[in-house]
Amino acid sequence: MTTSDNDKTPSNSSAIGRRRFLSGAAAAGAGLALSPYLAGGNRVAAARPGRLAGTTTPAGDTANPFGIEAGSEVEAVIFDGGYATDYVDFAADIFMQTHADTTVEVKPSTQIATELQPRFASGDPPDLIDNSGREQIGFNTILDQLEDLNDVLDAPNLEGTTIRDTLFPGVTSPGTFGDKFAAINYVMTVYAVWYSASLFEENGWTPPATWEECLDLGAKAKEADKYLFLWGTEAATYYQTLCIESAIKEGGDEVRLALENLEPECWSHPAVQAVFTIFKEIIDAGYMKPGGGGTFFTDAQAQWSLNQEALLYPSGSWIANEMKEQTMEGFEMAGVPSMPVTANAVSPNILHSTAGEPFIVPSDAKNVAGGKELLRIMLSKEAATNFAATRFAPTIVNGAVPPPEEQSPFLASQIAMLEAAGEDIFTFNFVSTYGMNQDMLPIWNSFLDGSKSVEDLTGDLQSLTDRVREDDSIEKIPVE
């Protein structure tokens, strides 16, 4: 998995402004924190009689803004990761109910680049692609072959409202490359430290608000014969994401900019070092479950969500859906934002959240209109609410969630974090922009198992960063 996302600047002058933050990352685009993948087979969505009962479809061109013809066939290739693919099947069902004599085939994939780059080269790409996962196709290699998707946002949704007017602020930035809006990132991913609300209530524990509180909680976990954290080999850099979030909260925008722009000594910033140092204390105290470096990531996560061997786990909000078959009954998964080191942090209340899961429509597709229409339907209130209800995460459609009494604790927790943050939301993309995650994994596995010091961790990460910065064959994307 790789790490991996407005108008208001927090009142502290050193804090991060949402619009500038997201627009600075826009060129890096959609390689945002994406779940390690699962496998699946093809499916042709089947129409469900009566689906539109009680709803109305706008008349005239608003019902068919892209000119879908009867008998149309649409091919969608969807990354089969933590969110699976049947949420697109749901929208495909609506498509075929809305447009007579049409067929939509949804094909799950775990190897987007391997399977689809040859099709781009031959001029025969699918009509809609979820360009996600470890094998995401680099946007710089296909940008001129993609449709500009502003016309999708300017189209009405199934309820008759212009889609652009229904979205969270800033969600177009991650899919904008220069002056081209080439990807609609569908999911509003929230990054947090997740825990079992029921377990915490049972033991009288409080989720940590600072790293010092986290250290204290580790001692309580040990008394209960549990660990504070655990990890799996492929997800070791989840802890890098957590540490970066905390360092940005502690030190402000200058920390983010130094990392995003691959600056010399960026990993030596005092805020970064403060987080690394206290995290090393947690590891050395024995609060990190040993052996994670030889454990598959879902096995490690099950040790947390099913066996409750550890109290906390940092991840994006795909975690609940990813582990829904391996979560203890009554677990009540909930989350808190990443912790600053001290109460004097520059930006303690900002939240790491961004639009993820980038959907693209190739210009050479056989049915460009069909790809855009499927996206339009996915952005309707019905489809977006279905995603939130079944995937336990909100989409970029603001307010398209089940009513409070029908929300899972996990979804309610995300909504509460988003509401509390307001517009004080940030993201960073340098890891995915420059494809650094695979090289960072062994570094973090060694740090988490206790064999590397803070100095070792800092030096190894800086060496990797310097190597990328000084490689003239790698195009650099300045971030402001």
CATH number, residue 255: 3.40.190.10
Residues 103 and 149 in one domain: yes
- For the chain, give the mean pLDDT: 86
- 75-95 per-position pLDDT tens digit: 999 999 888 999 999 999 999
Instruction: Please give the tally of structural domains in the chain.
Output: 2
Instruction: Examine the domain organization and report whether 451 and 311 are in the same domain.
Output: yes
Q: 341 with 387, same domain?
A: no
Please check the confidence at residue 116 and state whether its pLDDT lies above 60.
yes
Averaged pLDDT, 456-470: 97
Write down the residue that tokens 């130094």 correspond to: 258
- 478 domain-assigned: no
pLDDT digits (tens, 9 = 90+) for 92-107: 999 999 998 999 999 9
Of residues 411 and 11, more confidently modeled: 411
Bridge partners, residue 180, by sequence: 177
Stretch 281-298: mean pLDDT: 95
CB burial of 377-392 (b: ≥16 within 10 Å; e: otherwise) equals bbbbbbbbbbbbbbbb
Residues 251, 275: contact at Cβ < 8 Å? no
- What is the predicted pLDDT for the residue at 475? 80
Same domain, 339 and 433: yes
Q: Which residues of 33-48 are buried (b: 16+ CB within 10 A; e: fewer)?
A: bbbbbbebeebebebe
Total-model pTM: 0.77
Q: Name the residue range of residue 197's domain.
A: 191-352+429-470
Asked, for residue 423, whether it belongs to a domain, the answer is no
Bridge partners for 192 per DSSP: 315
Q: Positive or negative, the Cα torsion across 433, 435, 437, 440?
A: negative
Residue in this structure with the two tokens 């960026």, named with its chain if needed: 266
Residue type, 136: Q
The CA distance from 315 to 236, in Å, is: 11
Q: Give the other-Cβ count within 10 Å of 59's Cβ.
A: 8
pLDDT digits (tens, 9 = 90+) for 205-232: 999 999 999 999 999 999 999 999 999 9
Question: What is the spatial distance between Cα 419 and Cα 3, in angstroms, rounded to a whole number?
Answer: 23
Mean pLDDT check: name the lowest of 33-47, 313-327, 417-431.
Answer: 33-47
The pLDDT assigned to 227 comes to 98
Domain-embedded: residue 422: no
The answer for residues whose C-beta is within 8 angstroms of residue 57's C-beta and 6 or more apart is 63, 98, 158
Query: Is residue 360 in a domain?
Result: yes
Structural domain includes residue 420: no
Q: Is the pLDDT of residue 478 over 80?
A: yes
pLDDT tens digits, one per residue of 29-72? 333 333 332 223 344 444 333 333 333 334 345 789 999 988 99
Buried b (16+ CB within 10 A) or exposed e, 330-352: ebbbbbbbbbbbeeebbbbebbb
Residue 235: pLDDT over 90 = yes
Q: What is the pLDDT of residue 413?
A: 92
What's the confidence (pLDDT) of residue 61?
59
Of 48-52, 123-127, 277-281, 434-438, minimum mean pLDDT range: 48-52
Is residue 199 located within the same domain as residue 345?
Answer: yes
Total residues found in the chain within this entry: 480
**Most confidently modeled of 137-141, 268-272, 315-319?**
268-272
pLDDT in the model for residue 177: 83
Averaged over 118-141, what is the pLDDT?
91
Is the pLDDT confidence value at 11 over 70? no
- Whether 247 and 197 share a structural domain: yes
Q: Which of 45-54, 239-248, 350-359, 436-445 has the lowest mean pLDDT?
A: 45-54
Measured from the Cβ of residue 396, the count of other Cβ atoms closer than 10 Å reads 27
Same domain for 279 and 360? no
Same domain for 64 and 163, yes or no, is yes
Q: Which of 157-166, 350-359, 470-479 has the lowest mean pLDDT?
A: 470-479
Dihedral of CA atoms 287, 289, 294, 296 in degrees, nearest 10, equals: -120
146 with 102, same domain: the answer is yes
Does 112 lie in the same domain as 79? yes
The pLDDT tens digits of the residues spanning 156-188 come to 999 999 999 999 888 998 888 878 999 999 999
pLDDT band at 363 (very low <50, low <70, confident <90, very high): very high
Segments of 197-319 assigned E as strands = 313-316
322 and 35 in contact (C-beta within 8 Å)?
yes
Q: What is the mean pLDDT of residues 185-198?
A: 95
Per-residue model confidence (pLDDT) at position 9:
26
Do 180 and 273 lie in one domain? The reply is no
Question: For residue 366, with 0-12 CB atoms within 10 Å meaning exposed, 13-18 middle and 19 or more buried, which class applies?
Answer: middle
366 and 247 belong to one structural domain: no
Evaluate whether residue 418 is within a structural domain: no
DSSP H helices, 123-236, are 139-142, 150-153, 197-203, 211-223
Q: Are strands 43-44 and 103-109 parallel, antiparallel or unpaired?
A: antiparallel
What is the average pLDDT across 363-389? 96
pLDDT band at 4 (very low <50, low <70, confident <90, very high): very low
143: pLDDT strictly greater than 80: yes
Q: Rounded to an integer, what distance in angstroms lies between the CA atom of residue 148 and that of residue 130?
A: 15
For the chain, percent of residues with pLDDT exceeding 90:
69
Please report whether residue 264 resides in a domain: yes
What is the rounded average pLDDT of the residues 450-473?
Answer: 97
480: in domain: no
